[in-house]
Structure 1
Amino acid sequence: MSVATEPVDEPLRAHAVMNTDDVDEARHVVTEVYVPHDLDSSGGLPLDARLNCVASPRLTLGYLVYGANAALTLPPLEHCYHVNLTLSGRTRVTRRGGREEASTSGGRSGAVLLPHEDSTVTWTPEATQYAMKFPRGPLEEHLGALIGQPVTDPLDFAVSFDMTSGAGAALHSAVRFLRTEIDRPGGIAEAPLARAQLETYVMTALLHGVGHRYSDDLRAPSEREHPAAVRRVVEYIEAHADEPLTVPALARHAGVSVRSLQISFARHLGVTPSEYLRDVRLTRVHADLVAGNPADTSVTERAGAWGFVHLSRFSEQYRRKFGVLPSQTLRS
């Protein structure tokens, strides 16, 4: 089985926040970005530690390296979940006072630390990871919208997950895609709507990719439909298409589960909520280009402003809807 590897260029290089050989400095910076913890290197040797990261209200994505045998001891995280995707080297994770253990290896596995349990993580010198922090509020609200019921207790994510197949591979792919778009000049870092959509997708991929007490609810079929919910969501989309809307947020607005909303849209409009939102935003881009002056209006800028990440895919969707390329609309 082939294993996906990261590009030679260091992820998130333009977002560096730490480069140090000092254990105390590394502990301080990683605490500020993630959570309080104790950090020790084997034999007190210096580190070759680096951290590049970006943060939003939905998640913190970091590329973390210690460059030495390192051990982290963490109390319960309280307000967040921490997810490590091991890219190279190996780590060992324990939770619940050592009653749960797992090892991770580069490109093959990852691990999750919980809000309500202490944990330890040891790194080999060559270990590199995507280190991700997910605040409890946004993640648990997102899950509640997906399953149509409130989530009141911390999620009991499994201690480790496979990154090479199935939903775990989808999670790795989603994180890698988010990182690539953040690193790409002119990418989603400059398009808040698009970035919110990708970050929400990463949250969904996590909830499907790592087992927890609500996994069966996520997979359970739903046959209920709600015509009134479709009307409410259509009206909301028309009034708020310029905001970072997600399908779970739309479902919460309508008071139904994501699956029920999707079924209702399919039966009454013949499209998904995401497709309807995309169609509305295509229409808004079209209006901007019709009114725009080619001298000071950019197709790329207007597409990004309305949440479209891939310009080539946007151009094809635009052509299918309006019969011309967006550049032709602007020139005419």
Structure 2
Amino acid sequence: MDYVTGGDADLSIRRIGTHGHRSGTIGPRPDHVVFWLADGRARLTADDGSSWDVGAERPMMLSASVAYSFDTDATAMTLLHLAPALLGDRDGVAEFRQPDAADPRTEPLRALLRDVTGRVLDPTLRADERAAVNRRIATVVLSTFAPSRSDVEHRMRRAIRFVHDEAGRPLSVADIAASCGLTERGVQALFRRRLAVTPMQYLREVRLDRVHLELGRSRSGALLVSDVARRWQFTHLGRFAAHYRARFGEQPHETIARGPGAV
């Protein structure tokens, strides 16, 4: 395998020469990657089932949070790695639309890359010049592959619905991530950015709300707080009581005392 690389932490280019047919998977990764083939064809399939037949010289975006499978007979390809922050995606969870093969928006990117690839690969390029080249490339990449906000919102809704539907059983960050097709890092970033909490903090709040609802509806003495807490996966009762008071401003037994069975 022939391999040439150059660039910096924000943007790098990797040229790969291979021999013969290749297939495999590309898991979620820290960077967004634009790739294009020098020859041959490739079949690319995303983890949501979307697929593309890719010909030579067609640039394609691999979104950082998405897993892909591929099958190709190309003997040479180029990979453009872009740090999410360079594209305004602080958390690496944005997804990008693939333009059609004949979309004229891809031509400015192809032309720019023909012009600047040698400079990106040049180890003697000054830092200020490299930063300027990086910004030029990022601007054209963003105009070629528009971020798909609707998909991010869809994944957020799927994760929230999963938490609400499954709150009564043991769950991990990995379970929540799998429910919406993101990596654990991706789902953590998505919850922090949209809700200002971690997935597990959000799950705890949902469970506390369920306990509060049950206790508020109970008749005095009809329920044991410990039974309700454990049913909603609170196994450490001391921590449960502290979280409950912080969220509702009262102890669980005070909620029961205000319920329909109160005298």
Q: TM-score, normalised by structure 1?
A: 0.41
Structure 1 Cα separation of the partners of residues 92 and 51 of structure 2: 23
Structure 1 Cα separation of the partners of residues 4 and 133 of structure 2: 19
Residues 264-275 of structure 1 correspond to what in structure 2 (within 5 A)? none
Of 47, 51, 55, 2:3 maps to: 51
Structure 1 Cα separation of the partners of residues 21 and 92 of structure 2: 35
Give per-residue Cα distances to partners, 1:14-68, cap 9 Å, x unaligned: xxxxxxxxxxxxxxxxxxxxxxxxxxxxxxxxxxx21111131211201112221
Partner of 1:210: 145
Partner of 2:14: 62
- Judged with a 3 Å threshold, the aligned counterparts in structure 2 of structure 1 residues 63 and 131 are, in CA distance, closer, same or farther, namely same
Counterpart code for 1:122: D
TM-fit CA distance, 1:177: 1.4
The ranges of structure 1 where at least 4 consecutive aligned residues each deviate by more than 6 angstroms after the TM superposition are none
Residues 131-146 of structure 1 correspond to what in structure 2 (within 5 A)? 131-140=79-88
- Judged with a 3 Å threshold, the aligned counterparts in structure 2 of structure 1 residues 160 and 110 are, in CA distance, closer, same or farther, namely farther
Q: Does 1:122 align with 2:60?
A: no
Counterpart code for 1:157: F
Structure 2 Cα separation of the partners of residues 209 and 191 of structure 1: 27
Give per-residue Cα distances to partners, 1:84-127, cap 9 Å, x unaligned: 12221111111015x110011112x1222222221112220x44
Give per-residue Cα distances to partners, 1:145-202, cap 9 Å, x unaligned: xxxxxx667222124554x66321111122221213356xxx7833222221112111
Partner of 1:155: 94
Residues 1-332 of structure 1 correspond to what in structure 2 (within 5 A)? 49-77=1-29, 79-97=30-48, 99-107=49-57, 109-124=58-73, 126-140=74-88, 154-159=93-98, 162=101, 166-182=104-120, 189-213=124-148
Unaligned runs of 5+ in 1: 1-48, 142-150, 216-332
TM-fit CA distance, 1:213: 2.5
Partner of 2:200: none
Unaligned runs of 5+ in 2: 151-263
Structure 2 Cα separation of the partners of residues 138 and 116 of structure 1: 16
Counterpart code for 2:119: E
- Judged with a 3 Å threshold, the aligned counterparts in structure 2 of structure 1 residues 198 and 214 are, in CA distance, closer, same or farther, namely farther
- Judged with a 3 Å threshold, the aligned counterparts in structure 2 of structure 1 residues 189 and 177 are, in CA distance, closer, same or farther, namely farther
Preserved CA contact (<8 Å) 2:95 2:149: no
Structure 2 Cα separation of the partners of residues 166 and 189 of structure 1: 34
Structure 1 Cα separation of the partners of residues 43 and 3 of structure 2: 20
- Judged with a 3 Å threshold, the aligned counterparts in structure 2 of structure 1 residues 65 and 123 are, in CA distance, closer, same or farther, namely farther
Structure 2 Cα separation of the partners of residues 203 and 170 of structure 1: 12
- Judged with a 3 Å threshold, the aligned counterparts in structure 2 of structure 1 residues 87 and 160 are, in CA distance, closer, same or farther, namely farther
Q: What is the Cα-based RMSD across aligned positions, in Å?
A: 2.6
Q: Secondary structure at the match of 1:85?
A: strand
Counterpart code for 1:172: R
Structure 1 Cα separation of the partners of residues 50 and 98 of structure 2: 7
Identity %: 12
- Judged with a 3 Å threshold, the aligned counterparts in structure 2 of structure 1 residues 188 and 65 are, in CA distance, closer, same or farther, namely closer
Q: Secondary structure at the match of 2:14?
A: strand
Partner of 1:33: none
Q: Secondary structure at the match of 1:190?
A: coil
Structure 2 Cα separation of the partners of residues 207 and 68 of structure 1: 33
Give per-residue Cα distances to partners, 1:219-275, cap 9 Å, x unaligned: xxxxxxxxxxxxxxxxxxxxxxxxxxxxxxxxxxxxxxxxxxxxxxxxxxxxxxxxx
Preserved CA contact (<8 Å) 1:80 1:136: yes
- Judged with a 3 Å threshold, the aligned counterparts in structure 2 of structure 1 residues 161 and 211 are, in CA distance, closer, same or farther, namely farther
Higher RCO (CA-CA < 8 Å; seq separation 6+) = 2
Partner of 1:277: none
